[in-house]
Structure 1
Amino acid sequence: MSSEFSTPPWNVQRLPRADGSVFLVTGGNAGIGYFAAEQLSATGAAVVLGSRNPAKAEAATASIRARVPGARVRSVRLDLADLSSLETTVESVGVERLDAVIHNAGVALDDPPRKETVDGHELMFGTNHLGHFALTRWLMPLLLAAPAARVVTMGSFAAKSERLDLDDLQSLKAYQPKRTYGRSKLAQMYFGVELDRRLRAAGSTVTSVVVHPGGALDSLTPSRPPVHVRTTGARLRAAPAALLVQGKHAGAWPAVRAVLDPAVRGGQLWGPRIFGLRGEPRRERVWNPLADPSFAARLWDTSCDLTGVDPTAISG
């Protein structure tokens, strides 16, 4: 491995302390978001779970408290598919500063028909990308109040093979759920890279990092009842897949490292070490499409028009 991509030793089982820090994890009630919240809670930080389902959020916070003695974890209601609700949601977080946010929440539909948010946007693009885009605008004052806050955007390996069509971001021409999902995650990743570029240009103390979880399956994920229950049969059937992919607890590792590791820098991309699919987190070369600042700027401007906000309007 070249020195350009070498990193200091990092042990996913022995995370550095983060006492006094405050972290927000969107979609923290299940899947990768839950495990990111659980792992961050073990560092002594205060962790806020953003969830659109209060009952599931309560189950998640109870699970974390049962596994992490003294965990400082709570939840707020967050609906990324309703842009008008986000300013009020941020006010309800009730903190003076935010040291990091993990933009993890997402919708993944498997079957037609095409669905829309309350704002009239295609559901996956509107939630996964536009929701986090707008949320960042309202979080920015809290992020600026921290000494060196980080915005960590959770992309997807599924985005690597996709390309965005700026003339059909809403998938009106040819809706295919899996493709639309991949494109929504690619849009998120463009956002994360472009956000850091704009923050750097403004001389901001906030940085933006993009991560992806590789291949993360429920069947390889340890049980956290009632949040997630893995049967013995599911574990045995999934055993061969463990050679290539991993569970969602490991899928959270790149995001957790992006929050905690002082060696991580803005504008970087982090994912699993082995073929980008499994293993401990490492820095990756930014995927070629994401390195196009002209395209990213056009997507940014379009996103501003669609949401009515600019995340870097307050960035100094």
Structure 2
Amino acid sequence: MSSSVSSTPAWNVHRLPRADGSVFLVTGGNAGIGYFVAEQLSATGAAVVLGSRNPAKAENAAASIRARVAGAQVRAVRMDLADLSSLQSVMDSLEVERLDAVVHNAGVALDDPPRKETGDGHELMFGTNHLGHFALTERLMPLLSAAPAGRVVTMGSFAAKSERLDLDDLQSLHDYRPKRTYGCSKLAQMYFGMELDRRLRAAGSTVASVVVHPGGALDSLTPSRPPMHVPTAGARLSGAPAALFVQGKHAGAWPAVRAVLDPAVSGGQLWGPRVFGLRGEPRREPVWKHLADTCVAARLWDASRDLTGVDPGALLGAR
């Protein structure tokens, strides 16, 4: 008797499976990791939509992708996650009947005080990175549910691994330290991705929610993509030693791309770089202990629902 051998080929970040006919939305797809997620997904034959609050930068990104990917189907829609009331217009501008995946990648990272707020009165990083994507998911759920196996891929951060949420100070009113507040906003995103999948499963939905993080991704190790990103020779030289431990943003995109495309990836999983969670090809990793706390996740969901006035689970019949 011959032994059973899996017919599933090994994942190759440089030889992605085809996804012709699929439609993917990448928030913040005009720069950084989001740009490379969009570029790599465009090479699969899928239609890729770049969500960006800056139309000029988005068009530069789309032009760069078209120049590098023959036959790329890429376009941009205006999207401002800091303005919750504007998100319904995103739905109208998408002009699609279904959405096979959304990559929640867009984010704001502030390095210095003072604390800033969105037009809705939310702390800027928490309001954009987490609440904006929370509300956007509610808007997108009908399109994701219309796909055969829709996916919500949430881009977290390795910085979130050392943070803990203060559920009594989600808006950093009492303890505002920019790097900590950023890490907590990304941790909130990751909690949301995990809790969303639990609610999707409970509702019997065909949509899955996967959480990823890029590890350590530096500009100095990222390939040039003019006019968006053109590292100087000095920056490349100074960043070279770091390549032993971290990687460029093109590689930081790999976990999200795999989470979108690989049928072996399941909802509720966490994916990141292979080497110490900081660099290398994408692999599934154990869900961080604090991220597995379902009580914190449920309380965050309720707080997010109250702050945004929407509930991504309501359309599923989930409670």
TM-score, normalised by the number of residues in structure 2:
0.96
Aligned partner of 1:240: which letter?
Answer: P
Structure 1 unaligned runs (5+)? 1-6
Question: In the TM superposition, what is the alpha-carbon distance from 1:150 to its structure 2 partner?
Answer: 0.3
Aligned partner of 2:189: which letter?
Answer: Q
Q: Where does residue 55 of structure 2 map in the other structure?
A: 54
Conserved? CA contact 1:130–1:307, under 8 Å = yes
Question: In the TM superposition, what is the alpha-carbon distance from 1:8 to its structure 2 partner?
Answer: 6.0
Distance 1:185 1:161 in 2: 11
Q: Where does residue 188 of structure 1 map in the other structure?
A: 189
Q: Where does residue 260 of structure 2 map in the other structure?
A: 259
SS at match of 1:314: helix
Count how many residue pairs are aligned between Structure 1 and Structure 2: 310
Distance 1:34 1:119 in 2: 27
Conserved? CA contact 1:8–1:263, under 8 Å = no
Correspondence 1:119-158 to 2 at 5 A: 119-158=120-159
Conserved? CA contact 1:202–1:315, under 8 Å = yes
Distance 2:231 2:11 in 1: 28
Q: Where does residue 19 of structure 2 map in the other structure?
A: 18
SS at match of 1:270: strand
Q: Where does residue 3 of structure 1 map in the other structure?
A: none
Distance 1:124 1:227 in 2: 23
Question: In the TM superposition, what is the alpha-carbon distance from 1:315 to its structure 2 partner?
Answer: 2.4
Distance 2:157 2:269 in 1: 15
Q: Where does residue 310 of structure 1 map in the other structure?
A: 311
SS at match of 2:41: helix
1:254-295 per-residue CA deviation (whole Å, 9 max, x = no partner) reads: 000000000000000000000000000000000011111111
Conserved? CA contact 1:144–1:315, under 8 Å = no
Q: Where does residue 105 of structure 1 map in the other structure?
A: 106
Aligned partner of 2:87: which letter?
Answer: L
Aligned partner of 2:236: which letter?
Answer: R
Conserved? CA contact 1:212–1:271, under 8 Å = yes
Distance 1:145 1:172 in 2: 40
Q: Where does residue 166 of structure 1 map in the other structure?
A: 167
Q: Where does residue 179 of structure 2 map in the other structure?
A: 178
Conserved? CA contact 1:217–1:245, under 8 Å = yes
Correspondence 1:52-91 to 2 at 5 A: 52-91=53-92
1:182-221 per-residue CA deviation (whole Å, 9 max, x = no partner) reads: 0000000000000000000000000000000000000000
Conserved? CA contact 1:148–1:207, under 8 Å = yes
Aligned partner of 1:216: which letter?
Answer: A
Q: Where does residue 4 of structure 2 map in the other structure?
A: none
Instruction: Go from structure 1 to structure 2 and tell me whether the alpha carbon gap of 1:8 and 1:170 turns closer, same or farther (over 3 Å shift).
Output: farther
Distance 1:249 1:203 in 2: 35
Which runs of 4 or more aligned residues in structure 1 lie more than 6 Å from their structure 2 counterparts after TM superposition?
Answer: none
Q: Where does residue 4 of structure 1 map in the other structure?
A: none
Q: Where does residue 222 of structure 1 map in the other structure?
A: 223
Question: In the TM superposition, what is the alpha-carbon distance from 1:233 to its structure 2 partner?
Answer: 1.4
Distance 2:50 2:41 in 1: 11
Question: In the TM superposition, what is the alpha-carbon distance from 1:90 to its structure 2 partner?
Answer: 1.6
Correspondence 1:201-216 to 2 at 5 A: 201-216=202-217
1:90-134 per-residue CA deviation (whole Å, 9 max, x = no partner) reads: 221110000000000000000000000000000000000000000
Distance 1:79 1:220 in 2: 28
Question: In the TM superposition, what is the alpha-carbon distance from 1:239 to its structure 2 partner?
Answer: 0.7
Aligned partner of 1:272: which letter?
Answer: P
Aligned partner of 1:56: which letter?
Answer: K
Q: Where does residue 247 of structure 2 map in the other structure?
A: 246
Aligned-pair RMSD on alpha carbons?
A: 0.9
Distance 1:315 1:150 in 2: 15
Aligned partner of 1:141: which letter?
Answer: P
Distance 1:8 1:18 in 2: 16
Distance 2:251 2:63 in 1: 21
Structure 2 unaligned runs (5+)? 1-7
1:145-178 per-residue CA deviation (whole Å, 9 max, x = no partner) reads: 0000000000000000000001000000021000
